[in-house]
Amino acid sequence: MSDTVPSTAPEKRATDAPASTKKDFIRQIVREDLASGKHSAIRTRFPPEPNGYLHIGHAKAICLDFGIAAEFDGRCNLRFDDTNPAKEDPEFVQAIQDDVRWLGYEWASLRHASDYFEVYYLAAEKLIRDGKAFVCDLSPEQVREYRGTLTEPGRESPYRNRSAEESLDLFRRMRAGEFPDGARTLRARIDMASGNINLRDPALYRIKHVEHQNTGDAWPIYPMYDIAHALGDAIEGITHSLCTLEFEDHRPLYDWCVDNVDLAGHPELLQPLLAKGLPIEAAKPRQIEFSRLNINYTVMSKRKLTQLVAENLVDGWDDPRMYTLQGLRRRGYTPAALRLLVDRVGISKQNSVIDFSVLEGCLREDLDAAAPRRMAVIDPLKLVLANLPEGHEESLDFPNHPKDASLGQRRVLFSRELWIEREDFAEVPPKGWKRLVPGGEARLRGAGIVRIDEVVKDDGGQVVELRGWLDPESRPGMEGANRKVKGTIHWVSAPHAVAAEIRLYDRLFSVERPDDESDGKGYRDHLNPDSKRTVAGWVEPAAAQAVPEQSFQFERSGYFVADRYDHAPGRPVFNRSVTLRDTWAG
C-alpha cells in the first residue's frame, strides 16, 4: 500500500463546469450530511476490478467519486477490487492508475481488497460464530436450483442448520486448502423467502486455488464482491459509497454485511491491519446509486470489449476506435472533454442512452477553444502556380488560433508548387460549388486568389496536376484581395511538406444499438467497415514537429492528434479525433 497526497481537483479548462453549479441529488445529500454534522469530512472511493481496461462509463464514476471528494475538501481512495485473481492482471492495475491520473485526479490512498484479506477472514469467522453464516456443500448448479425465482421463494440448503462449530471447522479447512474448487462455499444465513434474491443466503466465500498477483498462493479461498466491497468501505471510513444502479438490489446485503460484522464495535477484527501499520478509519458507510453512462453506437460490456481484442477485431485495448479510456486518449479525446460530458449528462437515478453526437460535441467544444490550427492535405493533388518563378519561396505569417491571440503566430512557407485537397477541385461542379473549377477562382488561405488555367491528366483520365495563376495583387491586405471570391481552400507547400501517415477513425459500430440481437445478429455483425482508413498525406512542418498526444485542428478537415506511440517528428502519425461537423446527423 502506498499513501499519497490528498485527492486534488483536475486542472481547469474553459469547458469544466464550476463545482458550485452542480446540484445533483448526490451532492445535495453530501451537503445535507455536512450541514447536519453527520459527517465532519467526506470520504469516497473508486473501486475498479483489475480484470480489464476502464471504459468511458467508468469516466463518470471517476469524475463523481474524485470530484465530490475534491469539491468538499474530502478524500478519495483508489481501491482495487482484486478478489478474483483468475481474471486479473498487473497490466490492468497500471492502466487504471494511468487513466485516473490522466483524467486529472489523484487518490488520497492506494488500496487493494487483498490488503484486507485477513480482516475479511476474521469477519467471516465472526459471522459463523454468531450463527449468521454457514458452510454449504451444494454445487453451484444446486445453489441456483435452490435459489427460487422472482415469483417463487427459494428452498433452504440441507446444510443451513449446521452448527457453528462444524461450519467453523470446515471453513478453516477451506482456508487450509483441503477442498477442491467449487466443493464448498461460505454462505450468509439470511432469508430464503426474501423478495430480494440477493438476500437468499448469498455466498460470502468461494474456493479458488489460483495464485494472486499480490498475495501469491497464500489464499485458496477468496471473498465475494458483496462482503469485500462493504467491509472495505467500512475499514476505510467511506462516508458515501457511490455505485451504479445495478447495485441497488445489493444495497440490503451491503448493509447486512456492515451491520452484522460491525467493525467499529469489534476492533479486534482490525488487528491484522494495525499490525501492518495500515491506516484505518472504521465507520458505517452509506451506499448511494446513480445511473450508468450509456451511449449509443457503443458496447460497454467488459466481456465484449475483451472479445473484440482477443478476436483481433480491433488493434488492442488502446485502439482509438475502442471506448476504453486508453483508446479514447489515443484517439485524441481530452480529460476536459470527458469531464464536460459527465457534467452535461448529469447525475440521476434515471437510466437513459446518450447520443454519440453529445460525446463528439464535447470534444469539438474543448478542442475548438484549445487546439492550435495547422494545415494538412489528406488526399493530395498538385497545384503549380505557373506565374511564379521556379524555386519561388517565401514565408507567410499565420495565427496559431483565430480566436486566441495568446497562442501566437507561426511562419508558413509558401512556394510555386502546392498540395491541395483533391476534393477542392471539380471539372464538372455540382450545384452550389464554391471551390476550384477550370477557369474559376478561389482564395488560397493567407496567400491570395488563384485561377485554374490547365488540368493535367494521366493516360487513364485521372487528374494528376492543376496549373494556375496567382493574382499578385490579391495578397492579404492588398486592394485586390477585397473582390468577392466564393471559396477559400487550404494548402501545403510541396517542397517543404512533410509526409505523414494519417489515420481516419470513425465510429466502431454502424448501428445505434449494436447489442440488440432481436434481428438475429450480434455486435460483431455491426462493426463499421469504414471505422479506420489509413492514408498518406502531407502536413506543414509546424505540424510534423508536434509532440505525441498534441492536438490540432487541421483546417477544414477536423481535429487530429499526434499518435501517443507511433508519432515522431521525422515520421509523423496523426489520428483523426473527430470531424469538424457531425457527419452522422440526419
Domain identity same for 478 and 576: no
- CATH code of the domain in which 520 resides: 2.40.240.10
Confidence of residue 4 (pLDDT cuts 50, 70, 90): very low
Closest CA to 224 of 191, 190, 201, 196: 201
Residue span of the structural domain in which 263 resides: 1-290
Last residue of one domain, picked from the residues 290, 324, 342: 290
Q: Assign residue 129 a region: left if phi > 0, alpha if psi is -120 to 50, beta otherwise?
A: alpha
In this predicted structure, the answer to whether residue 12 has a pLDDT above a threshold of 90 is: no
Question: Which of 253, 268, 290 represents a domain boundary (last residue)?
Answer: 290
Q: β-strands 376-377, 532-539: how paired? A: antiparallel
Question: Are 514 and 571 found together in one domain?
Answer: yes
- 108 and 185 housed in the same domain: yes
Residue 72 pLDDT grade (very low, low, confident, very high; cuts 50, 70, 90) = very high
Q: Is 459 exposed, middle or buried (0-12, 13-18, 19+ CB in 10 A)?
A: exposed
Q: Are residues 97 and 231 in the same domain?
A: yes
Average pLDDT score over residue span 215-222? 97
User: Cα dihedral angle (509, 513, 515, 517), rounded to 10 degrees?
Assistant: -110
> Tens of pLDDT along 409-468?
999 999 999 999 999 999 999 999 999 999 999 999 999 999 999 999 999 999 999 999
Whether 468 and 346 map to the same domain: the answer is no
Do 279 and 311 sit in the same domain of this protein? no
Residues marked as binding for L-glutamine?
Answer: 81, 225
Give residue 480's pLDDT.
Answer: 85
Dist CA 71 CA 62 (whole Å) = 14
346 in helix, strand or coil?
Answer: coil
What is the predicted pLDDT for the residue at 3? 42
Name the percent of the chain lying above pLDDT 90.
88
SS3 26: helix
The pLDDT score that the predictor gives to residue 11 is 63
Task: Give the pLDDT of residue 14.
Answer: 60
Q: What is the CATH number of the domain that holds 249?
A: 3.40.50.620
| pLDDT at 9 exceeding the cut of 60 | no
DSSP string for residues in 482-547:
GS--S-EE--EETTT-EEEEEEEE--SBSSS-TT--TTS--GGGGB-TTSEEEEEEEE-HHHHTPP
Say yes or no to pLDDT of 199 above 90. yes
Q: Pick the closest to residue 94 from 83, 110, 108 (CA basis).
A: 110
Q: Distance between CA atoms of 366 and 334, rounded to whole angstroms?
A: 8
* Unique residue bearing C-alpha cell 478478489: 83
Q: For the segment 84-133, what is each residue's pLDDT rounded down to a tens digit?
A: 999 999 999 999 999 999 999 999 999 999 999 999 999 999 999 999 99
Q: What pLDDT does 586 receive?
A: 63
492 in the same domain as 503: no
Residues at the binding site for ATP are 49-51, 55-61, 244, 292-293, 300-302
Classified as helix, coil or strand, 474 is coil
CB 357 within 8 A of CB 379: no
Looking at per-residue confidence, does 9 or 352 come out higher?
Answer: 352
pLDDT at 306: 92
pLDDT at 486: 87
| pLDDT of amino acid 126 | 98
- Is 187 a residue whose pLDDT tops 50? yes
Q: What is the pLDDT of residues 358-411, one digit of tens each?
A: 999 999 999 999 999 999 999 999 999 999 999 999 999 999 999 999 999 999
- Give yes or no: residues 492 and 503 share one domain: no
CA distance linking residue 230 with residue 201, whole number of Å: 16
Query: What is the arithmetic mean of pLDDT over 29-49?
Result: 96
3-state SS of 90-156? Answer: HHHHHHHHHHHHHCCCCCCEEEEHHHHHHHHHHHHHHHHHCCCEEEECCCHHHHHHHHCCCCCCCCC
pLDDT tens-digit series, residues 226-241: 999 999 999 999 999 9
- The Cα 33–Cα 42 span in angstroms is 9
pLDDT band at 278; cut points 50, 70, 90:
confident
Catalytic residues: 49, 292, 302
Instruction: Show which of 235, 262, 290 is a domain's final residue.
Output: 290
The answer on 329 and 253 residing in a single domain is no
Q: Are 350 and 292 in contact (CB under 8 A)?
A: no
What DSSP assignment string belongs to 225-286?
A: HHHHHHHHHHHTT-SEEEEEGGGGGGHHHHHHHHHHH-TTT-GGGGHHHHHHT--------E
Residues 6+ apart with CB under 8 A from 570: 544
Q: Say yes or no: 83 and 141 in one domain.
A: yes
Residue tagged 452542480 (cell numbers): 22
Residues 5 and 142 in one domain: yes
Provide the mean pLDDT of the chain. Answer: 94
Total tally of structural domains belonging to the chain: 3
In this structure, the answer to whether residues 236 and 300 fall within a common structural domain is: no
Q: CA-CA distance, 287 to 530, in Å (whole number)?
A: 43
